[in-house]
Amino acid sequence: MDGAGRSSLSRYDRVTGLRAPWRVYVALILASALWASLYTAGKPAVAATGAIQVTLCRVVLAWACLAPLVILRGGVRSLLEQLRTHWRGIVLIGLLNFAASQLLALSALNFLPASASGVLNNTHPLWVAIGTAVFFPPRQPLLLVGGAAVALMGVVLVFLPDLTFDSSTGGATFTSVGVALSLAGSGVIALGTIIGRRVMRNSDPLAIAALASGAAIVPMSILTLASGGFAPIFDASGGIKALLVYLGIGCTAMNFALWYYGLKYLPAAAASAFQYLIAPIGVAIAAVFLREALTLTLLLGTLCILIGLAATQIAMARGIYAVVPTRRSRLP
């Protein structure tokens, strides 16, 4: 095989992730499972303290958990070196993934069941696939459009029962707010995923996650002071405080570290495919721990979203793989 052929094959492997070690896939599956539990654990915590306060706890605990690990492993110098090299990306990831997306997702829990919020908030692989398809046109555009339409139908099915309420009860308005917050959060996650992929290729995922969570502390502290302060956190019951610790360490520190580790080895769109697991796992967790009803429309809507996301992923992937061996293209 000549030099050009080896170069094309190397680029192909890097895009498809064929050489990614098995632990990368395990990390992404664990990250998706932790994310799925976020909505069930976050529902009572948000009700007791507030979405802003919960978000602040998550970023503070993530920083307190990850930063010492990075320092113990490589010293303060390694942390500062990552900050010096990737400070722009770190600030963007902190504001998008650790502040905005979490605040939107948790705020939606005030208006939606945990199961529905989890389904809607995790439509972001659809946005990643569509955005990638703009730069790598798929061979089957009808599959992309059809998949997007099926996913959209699933979104409608998820919250359709609430829209049938009498408008005098305010049910439709509240549901619309919740849907808007969840979908806005999914859009922010999609953007943060693309930025995270670019940053992780030449960086330490654990250090970036630590620094990004730290970057979110200042803006979230300001928002907390402007919306009730820290008293709801300190006055919370022991059970709620335990949930806050889990949300900060399990659903923030651990899952973001695992997620960024996966992004170091896989393209954003390929890594996002693993998050198809979040919706069904989240629905099951909410049914078990919060006793939320598994309605027919919720199940059908979840299924439609998963089918639509899979279709758009396939359409997008074929477009990428078709051009890699023959054209010098930048990784998504």
- 161-170, 225-234, 272-281: which range is least confident on average? 161-170
φ and ψ at 2, to 5 degrees? -75, 175
Q: What is the span of the domain harbouring residue 59? A: 28-323
Q: Does residue 262 fall inside a structural domain? A: yes
170-174 contacts at long range (C-beta below 8 A, 24 or more positions apart)? 174/111
Q: Does residue 14 fall inside a structural domain? A: no
- Residue 19: predicted pLDDT: 53
Q: Give every CB contact of residue 123 below 8 A, 6+ residues apart in sequence.
A: 151, 155, 183, 186, 305, 309
Please state the rounded mean pLDDT for residues 162-169.
Answer: 44
For the chain, the domain total comes to 1
- 18-32, 137-151, 183-197, 285-299: which range is least confident on average? 137-151
Q: Does residue 2 fall inside a structural domain? A: no
Q: Does residue 271 fall inside a structural domain? A: yes
**pLDDT above 50 for 145:** yes
Q: How does residue 232 score in pLDDT terms, banded at 50, 70 and 90?
A: very high
- Residue 2: predicted pLDDT: 43
Q: How does residue 324 score in pLDDT terms, banded at 50, 70 and 90?
A: very low
Q: How does residue 45 score in pLDDT terms, banded at 50, 70 and 90?
A: very high
Please state the rounded mean pLDDT for residues 196-211.
Answer: 84
Q: Does residue 19 fall inside a structural domain? A: no
Q: Does residue 148 fall inside a structural domain? A: yes
Q: Does residue 104 fall inside a structural domain? A: yes
> How many angstroms separate the CA atoms of 234 and 250, rounded?
20
Kindly report the number of other CB atoms within 10 A of residue 247's CB atom.
Answer: 25
Q: Does residue 296 fall inside a structural domain? A: yes
